[in-house]
Amino acid sequence: MTSVLVVDDDQQLVSAISRDLRANGYDVLSASSVDGALQQLEAAVSDVVLTDLRMAEADGIDLLLAIRERGLSSRPILMSAYATARDHQKAVELGAVRVLCKPFGSRELLDAIQQAIDCATGFRGTIHGLSLIDMLQMFHYGRRSITLRVDDTIPGQIHFEDGEIVHAEHGESTGEEALKAILAMPTGSLSTGAFQSGSTTIERSFQSLLLDLLRSVDEQQRDDAELDLGEADFFGAALEGENEEEAMMGKIDEACKEVVNNVDGAVACGVVDLDTGMLLGIHNSAQYTQTLNEVVAAATMDLFRGPNVGRVEQMVRAHRGIPEDGEHYFQEVHITSANNYHFAKTMKGGKAVMMLVTKKTTNIGMGWAELKAALPRVEPLVP
């Protein structure tokens, strides 16, 4: 049975919390001061320590510090009605799993206790540099049952059960509509909590769900951008005098630019006509010269249309009875070089290929998702 030590000089509050925890199957001890709590912990270490911040003499921060200095395995939770941002930061630095703001309800208390229990067999802390997509894929591949909170102007929650997304909430929306709204959020903060079983509003598999919603979000953002540009006076003037082919290539450039902007660590994205070797569109963030762009296009041609690749295609067609003018054999390629990932996906039956080059810090799943999401709007532009 999980043991919880409640530390507060408000005996009425201690009694109420203790009753609630015991009713939910916890073994509860209590103390009214930091010294009393340390004496309890020296006699028997509790799994979780729930301590108030403000108490006579020493306070909750002092208790967290003592727990760390003595190497005790208890996972602390700080509670306070007056915690400042500095108090919150200090508590987290000293190992607090959660800071509960008084007054709090029974559900919030039990979630915090469960979160502390979960920390017994894993790491806890703060992380930087991971995108929302990174987090979703991490929980999926780890087959986690967990609730991911996304806080912004309108907060949202994504619930995982055994690695699959089973429910999402965003404002008054639920299900796939809510998940789509969360995926479209440009910024926010992420936190996790114990899995909250309840409604199942999402039943599709993770990969299918994520790719479809990312594509939908991408199309919506593109439509919004086109609407804004269409209303601007300069847009019509900019296209004036351009022929249709130049306009098409400009749209491909914009699609490539959007992929580069949407993928963390993206270096370049381009589209190559595999029949002619012509570079139909490109955008890069590394200031590639035109010569280097052309070399990359030539290398892509070799990858999909090289002489040995052609021989493989002929052998496969002959073996399987496929017509000589059938679709080309290779459809997508992922290459890892010393410093980069290279993603390539063909379109129009192998007539053209879209290539994305990223740093090795890029999440591979995110790279593929963004590249494939861009194909439906690029493919009609390929001559």
Same domain, 72 and 137: no
Residue 127 domain-assigned (yes or no) = no
Same domain, 136 and 91: no
Domain containing 367 equals 241-381
Mean pLDDT of the chain: 82
pLDDT for residue 325 is more than 70: no
More confident residue, 228 or 135: 135
pTM for this prediction = 0.42
Same domain, 293 and 201: no
* Residue pair 260/371 in contact by the 8 Å Cβ criterion: no
Given pLDDT bands bounded at 50, 70 and 90, which one contains residue 79?
A: very high
Same domain, 161 and 253: no
Write out the two tokens for 268.
């370049």
Same domain, 377 and 260: yes
pLDDT at 80: 87
Check which CATH number belongs to the domain holding 79 and give it. 3.40.50.2300
Same domain, 81 and 151: no
Same domain, 144 and 273: no
Q: Which of 274, 298, 271, 270 is nearest to 285 (CA)?
A: 270
Tens of pLDDT, residue by residue over 39-48, are 999 999 999 9
Q: How many domains does the chain have?
A: 3
- Domain end: 160, 188, 207, which one? 207
Residue 245 domain-assigned (yes or no) = yes
Q: How far apart are CA 53 and CA 56, in angstroms?
A: 10
Residue 54 domain-assigned (yes or no) = yes
Q: How far apart are CA 96 and CA 108, in angstroms?
A: 16
Residue 167 domain-assigned (yes or no) = yes
Q: How far apart are CA 59 and CA 287, in angstroms?
A: 56
Check which CATH number belongs to the domain holding 336 and give it. 3.30.450.30
